[in-house]
Structure 1
Amino acid sequence: MSTSVEPAYDQSEPDLSAVVGERRHLINIAYRLLGSVAEAEDAVQETYTRWYAMSRRQQEAIESPGAWLTTVAGRICLDVLGSARARRERYVGAWVPEPLPDRSEWTSVRADGGGGEPADPADRITLDESVNMAFLVVLESMTPAERVAFVLHEVFRYPFAEVAGIVGRTPAACRQLASSGRRRVRAARTGSAPAAGQAGLVRNFKEAWEAKDIEALVGLLDPDATMTADGGGMVGTVLRPVVGGRSIAQYLIHIADKAPGLTLLERTVNGRPGLVAQHTGISVTVAAFEIADGRVTAIWAVRNPEKLRAWNEHEED
């Protein structure tokens, strides 16, 4: 994960706290746009680099530093999304957005022992419906411009006039992009149960997996369920989605037999009940679930260790 290095600030600079205080908001936007904590932090760091590259006079001429920072961050994310498509075509296996822990579940104190801004960018991201894994996966299906317009307007409520300045389209075109994004989201919705109602089913899933009870797993899975695993070519995992409840159950039992000693933990993953598999105290898989009509309809299992750094940094503290 990228390490943020703050520039040496002139404490007499007007509105310094307002400029620095935008970092959390920018991280929240960038993660939803990019689906990666590391890429989000890089985009925000580049945004601040451009701000501090300007002269004091240029900075003072900017009427709203917050709006300027959002515009620049949005344009950087738009560029990253364009190049990410090519990179992900070369990615080994499926690409799944980076899973986020709920920091309230971690009992450890911050490594620096201080207050204020969390040290880990993942801790700055607000967990809500716009970061649940099913939603982020739908965002992945959008074009870069569509995703930026949709997220900025529908999630963060930016007016289309401001979105237009970021995307480089007219306000009318941005309205169409956001509308197209809404259609994609509506088409993908399966009537997911509230998060509170999912915890019991995830617990039953965990217990059936631990017991290697294939029939119990089949009963908890929708017959047309899918499981997508992301190992990034760094660890062994299935390269294509596993389709069908029984096929998923058989695969999970195979994993349990192949990797003895796994410990399953109930954790919040992107704001929803999920599971974390640990081996010798190290988180090796984070699984997010989509649940509808009392059954699991989708599982996203992230095994790429580069996407699990926030989980293991917390566990090691």
Structure 2
Amino acid sequence: MPVVFDLLQRDTRAKLDGPRHPEKAHRPDQPVLKKPDWIRVKAPGKPGYAETQAIVRQHGLVTVCEEAGCPNIGECWDKKHATFMIMGDTCTRACAFCNVRTGMPGALDADEPARVGDAVAKLGLGHVVVTSVDRDDLADGGAEHFARTIRAIRDAAPTTTIEVLTPDFLRKPGALEKVVEAKPDVFNHNLETVPSLYLTVRPGARYFHSIRLLQRVKELDATIFTKSGIMVGLGEERNDVLQLMDDLRTAEVDFLTIGQYLQPTKKHHPVIRFVTPEEFGSYASIATAKGFLLVSASPLTRSSHHAGEDFARLKAARLERARF
């Protein structure tokens, strides 16, 4: 019953708060392709899932696992792995692919960093991922809130390694520096798609700004691992993806993730095609040959999926490369 009750609560909140995506409400419905067999996942329901859900609720926290409708939530939450989404559940941008609520966010919750830290400690996480909505309404885009959350996790769970998945901090001078100064172990910023699709898929962002952001992290602190990810199946061409890999390597990005785009609703950008597991394998081979320390490419790959195991692999790959 807890899962059913929670869904009812979310449905009630949606009715009170209005449409989740008001900017998409009057758009024509897009076709929805039938998912192939390799996309299927099991519904959540194991004991670990309920325990993770209870801790998240008790601390009044938001997770991108729920807000973005991640297909891996059952697997991750059963292992008590959750990706915390700070600064609220409402984003100031309206990307065509994203299921996170859009609109004008509320004020920052000053106690949220401490609650995240406490939740990380109670879940016993060896590695945690912290992301956020875009907060273009804030002078620093929420960079100081990220830094406070990193410090709070360090205080509550000193041995936990920390990965941040940040917005692009577009037109927010000095914001990136605040986050890097707090020394996360991994700095992730997703490109999401190839540059030719930005105007339709990610209109509020700028491709080369995002590339430069990742490059700047390495200039500020070369010890921090950098990471980025894209979705495929949005209409990109293979050569576009290969060029994107080169752009990321020019910025010295360590880790690339590639996953299948899944359409949240009929009002979102359509899935143009489902990329086969064999094609994902090819992308992984090429990206590895181009010099990434680590590559994760599969239909169900997501930025935070297996993040703890991937961090261990990243460290091992860096040590191995340093030997030569």
TM-score normalised over the length of structure 1: 0.26
Larger RCO (CA under 8 A, 6+ residues apart): 1
Give 1 or 2: higher helix fraction.
1
Instruction: Specify the structure having the higher radius of gyration (Cα).
Output: 1
